[in-house]
Chain A
Amino acid sequence: MNELFRTPRVALFLMALVFLGLAVPSPAAGLVGDYSFSVRMAQHLLLQLVVPPLVLLSFPDSALTRLEGRRLLRPVGWFPKQPALTWLLGLGAMWAWHAPALCNAAIRNPALHNCQSLSLFLVGAAFWWPIAGPCARQRLPPLLGIIYLFTACLGCTILGIIITFAPPGLYLAATLPGAFNDWRFAAPDDQRMGGLLMWVPGCLIYICGILGLLARWYGMPEAEAFSTNAPERMS
């Protein structure tokens, strides 16, 4: 029980809750999300890139290690061991949900929107599992993890750049008449800001992940730090 309530873990978990609260039930997400593409984008980034790693880092590792061997969880356990797959899922979800057709459909249809939010969170968890997952054995070695995050960052940046420079009016949320008209925040600026959110702060999240990996790498004992295979011992 002691391990379950270690302060940093609790702090991480509370942070995750705060960000989740900002992303889903908060007034900003509920009301403005339908009128502003950039708020939508912030919501997506929180759901996919911020909340999942915080939740994963807040897990106590021993609990999951015990569960890992159970027959029921074996298929689930296979999945996070495939970094190429989780990488593709993470990046694929990001690109697919921001295709104008899908993104706009999710704005019109609340059920689809819920589906979008949930899938972004789940895919985010899968994506971060090899980096921040609670089972040390399923984590990528730090140097490979850096490549994993860097390439994902690149993919995310390219999408951000495309949205930033795309012709205005692609996304429905940005063009609906609403609160933002009074705030004099023009629709083209809104879309651009959405793209920039993905491009710049989105990239910063990955950079934080990379720096975290470097910190973990420098903290490892020598013999483990180099192997490009998964470390054998639990941290």
Chain B
Amino acid sequence: MKATLPAPLLVDTLAHEAAGRGWFSWVATVDHKRIGILYLLTALFFFVVGGVEALLIRIQLALPGNTFLSPDLFNQLFTMHGTTMIFLVVMPTLIGFANYLVPLMIGARDMAFPRLNAMSYWMLPFGGLLLHFSVVAGGAPAAGWFSAAPLSETPFNSTQGLDYWVLALLVLGIGSVAASLNLIATILTQRAPGLSIRRLPLFVWMNLINSFLVILSFPALNAAIVMLLIDRQLNAAFFFPANGGSAVLWQHFFWAFGHPEVYIMALPAFGMISEVIPVFSRKPIFGYEFVAASTVAIGLLSFGVWAHHMFAVGLGHVSDLFFAGSSMLIAIPTGVKIFNWTATMWGGAIRFTTAMMFATAFLIQFVIGGLSGITFAAAPVDWQVTDSYYLVAHFHYVLFGGSMFGVFAGLYYWFPKMSGRMLSEKWGRLHFWLTVIGFNLTFFVQHFLGLLGMPRRVYTYPKLPYWTLWNMLSTIGAFILGISVLALLWNMFSSLRRGRLAGNNPWNAWTLEWATTSPPPAEDFKWLPPIRGRRPMWDLAHPENRDEKNAAPAPLPETSIGKHEAGMLSFIASESIFFVMLILAYLYYNVISPPSGGAPLALDARKTGVFTLCLLASSATFWRAERSLHRGQHDSFHRWLLATVVLGGAFMVGQGLEYAHLLHAGYAVNSSLFATAFFTLTGFHGLHVCVGLAALLILLRLAALGDFRTSAPAVKSVGWYWHFVDMVWVAVFFVVYMRPLL
């Protein structure tokens, strides 16, 4: 492959690989643009799959008492539709756009970690395959996209479907977290000179905030689903009330992830809208600072309101009161955004291109979804309409009428940059109107169905007044929506072949991605305009009327953090949340709500204390090793590193002895909830120690080979990880071994 290169300006080996031709060059690529396109194509494929699933559901519901689908198949279809659309369509689409655009918009050469980027992408088809493999392995998962316990436990879902669901979500979660920490490191460390964080395009800013949401919320999901997997595979009972577990805890864990996830699917779309509306209104965004800061507010609030998904659980009036209040607060920053976008359009010279039409429809539909969302924040209203079609209508207005419309706006806006050709406006308009009509017909009537009392997730309904009419209308709308997707596909297909050539900047837009060719060369930029404000292309075209007149011409001092540090700190933050969740689970089953019957494990705090000292000492030896490296004393570095490995190994031996002792005494993972929580927490910590040891051994090997050229940041990163693992053990030791002695 490499031999046939047209040999443009190749900067390094990464570009060399990326610029290859043939299908294999797409498999082996580490170029962020190709990876972004791979994300988008995969998401498009699953969009069609999930859409067909939705159409099957709508056919079944078109008439009362329909027998088109069996009840079980219906359950599988709505579970797969939800899971597919969330994890295989919306998230990959948004990550794909971020992958393609963020490096371009910040004037970078590529992502901070191109190989990690490729890994993140390949987790997506892998996860998709795992999820869909369940279909041939006995049946797809059938417990809804949030797999509520105990329905998701083995006695009620005995096929392998849910196990594949868990594995697929783990794989997809790893991919998403990796992509997000890559985005964080990229945005923090790879910006072009002059592009300060305060000048970031809003799409980039929102992706930054969004990436923090991803790395901090996915660990909650991961903790929940590994616990579910332990229940299903090892006969434990974390979430199985019949054996002492707590089904409510599943909901807490899942929604601690699930609510931030709602914003994870919305914020990047907000970012797209924030790019599209100003360009087609010919005005800079109104109140940049407010849009940016309200994003932070939304992100922070999203972690504190998950219990509003649980009003129907029976948490008590006091809890409901607090979460109703905090949930309503979210309307403030979201409202601020809506006003900013509207004010940007106000008095602008609006050009209603297809992208702008989608953005405008987004505004209206997202407000409808937001208003019905506020009604859900009132707990008594929630009790009436939760799990009815009113809810289905609400979240489709947010996710389709909001996020997907934002994505369509972004697609029409950036397609010329990605392909070099314009999408047809004629077909675009057809696509737009079919989508608007189809979408509103499908989902607006579902508000009425919900208020009439039609429950969701039930395969059919009796012949009641108006139910047939609304359902039939909804199904007709769904098919119009299906046809609209065909119009989009045809538009993309035909425009790729015969579309008008785009040129560098077809929209007369202002951000950096429009400064390069369409599509951009492998190295992204041959030349960058000077960056002295938020709209470098505007400043370039209007030097007499720049946005920031007094901006310094010299490059600004940038963040002092390196990409390895940024990446490792993000990873550690993410892992911390994972352990916080496991420790909370341990506390829940041991202190807060211990199951009746059985007794806590008899643990020997003194013996474990000795091995704890080993682990703590290993942190000290690593610190010495790093100091030696800093001073260039390689032998001493080698010795201290070896000591670290030995001490870490000693800790693992200690844990092994303790496990052997406990197993010998008759405790097993499934013998009681105390044991399950203990083995899960310490087991996952042990796993992390092993990962740390593997990294240390690699360093040791490199040190033995005398390779110190690139290892200083690597040693630092591994060191931070190792200290982190030790700190986690201090917390675990206190909670598990010391607390009972207090």
Q: How many residues of B contact A (CB 8 A)?
A: 36
Contact of B304 among A165, A167, A189, A199 (CB under 8 A): A199
Which residue of the partner chain, among B319, B551, B584, B593, contacts A192 with CB atoms under 8 Å? B319
Asked if residues B593 and A223 are in contact (CB atoms below 8 Å), the reply is no
Is A165 a contact partner of B197 (Cβ separation < 8 A)?
A: no
Bound CA–CA A62/B280 (angstroms): 48
- Chain B 529-569 per-residue mask, 1 if CB under 8 angstroms from chain A, else 0: 00000000000000000000001100011111100000000
Interface positions of A from 183 to 207, Cβ below 8 Å from B: 189, 192-193, 196, 199-201, 203-204, 207
0/1 interface trace, chain B 278-295, chain A, CB 8 Å (1 if under): 000000000001001100
A211 contacts which chain B residues (CB < 8 A)? Answer: 293, 296-297
A189 to chain B, nearest CB (A): 5
Q: Could you say which residues of chain A place their CB within 8 Å of the CB of B591?
A: 166
A158 vs chain B, min Cβ distance (A): 7
- Could you tell me the distance between the alpha carbons of A214 and B299 in the complex, rounded to whole angstroms? 14
- Complexed CA–CA distance, A191 and B592 (Å): 13
Shortest CB-to-CB span from B517 to chain A, Å, is: 30
Interface-side segment among B169-177, B225-233, B322-330, B646-654: B322-330
Are B558 and A189 in contact, with the CB atoms below 8 A?
no
B198 within 8 A of A: yes
**B-contact bits for A143-171, CB 8 A (1 contact / 0 none):** 10010001001100110011011110000
A78 on interface, CB distance cutoff 8 Å: no
Query: What's the nearest-Cβ distance from chain A to residue B11, in Å?
Result: 27
CB distance from A147 to the nearest CB of B (A): 9
Q: B69 contacts the other chain (Cβ, under 8 Å)?
A: no
Which of chain A's residues 203-235 have a Cβ closer than 8 Å to chain B?
Answer: 203-204, 207, 210-211, 214-215, 217-218, 222-223, 225-229
- Rounded to whole angstroms, the CA-CA distance of A153 and B299 in the bound complex is 14
Instruction: Please tell me which one of the listed residues B289, B303, B557 contacts residue A226 in the complex, with CB atoms under 8 A apart.
Output: B557
B301, CB-defined interface residue at 8 Å: yes
CA distance A200 to B319 in the complex (A): 10
B285-321 CB mask vs A (1 if < 8 Å, else 0) is 0000100110011001101100000000000111100
Q: Evaluate whether A225 and B293 lie within 8 angstroms (CB atoms) in the complex, with A158-B584, A196-B319 already known.
A: no
Instruction: Take A200-B326, A207-B301 as given contacts and tell me if A223 and B584 are in contact as well, using a CB distance cutoff of 8 Å.
Output: no
Report the minimum CB–CB distance from A205 to chain B (whole Å): 12
Q: B360 at the A/B interface (Cβ < 8 Å)? A: no
B430 located at the interface, meaning its Cβ lies under 8 Å from any Cβ of chain A in the complex: no
Complex CA–CA separation, A162 to B593 (angstroms): 11
Query: With A and B bound together, what is the CA distance between A173 and B700 in angstroms?
Result: 57
Partner of B592, one of A166, A189, A196: A166
Is the beta-carbon distance between B556 and A167 smaller than 8 angstroms? no
Whether B580 is near chain A, meaning CB under 8 Å from some CB there, is: yes
Whether B580 and A158, one on each chain, are in contact in the complex, defined by CB atoms closer than 8 angstroms, is yes
Cα-based distance from A228 to B557 in the complex (angstroms): 10
Q: Is B720 an interface residue (CB 8 A)?
A: no
Contact of A192 with B318 in the complex, beta carbons under 8 Å: yes
C-beta contact mask, B338-357 vs A, less than 8 Å → 1, else 0? 00000000000000000000
- With A158-B580, A199-B304, A203-B304 as contacts: A225 and B198 at CB distance below 8 Å: yes
**Least distance between A125 CB and chain B CB atoms (Å):** 24
Q: In the complex the two chains form, what is the Cα distance from A131 to B200 in whole Å?
A: 25
Q: Does B461 contact A (CB under 8 A)?
A: no
| Bound Cα distance A223, B292 (Å) | 20
A contacts, CB < 8 Å to B? 143, 146, 150, 153-154, 157-158, 161-162, 164-167, 189, 192-193, 196, 199-201, 203-204, 207, 210-211, 214-215, 217-218, 222-223, 225-229
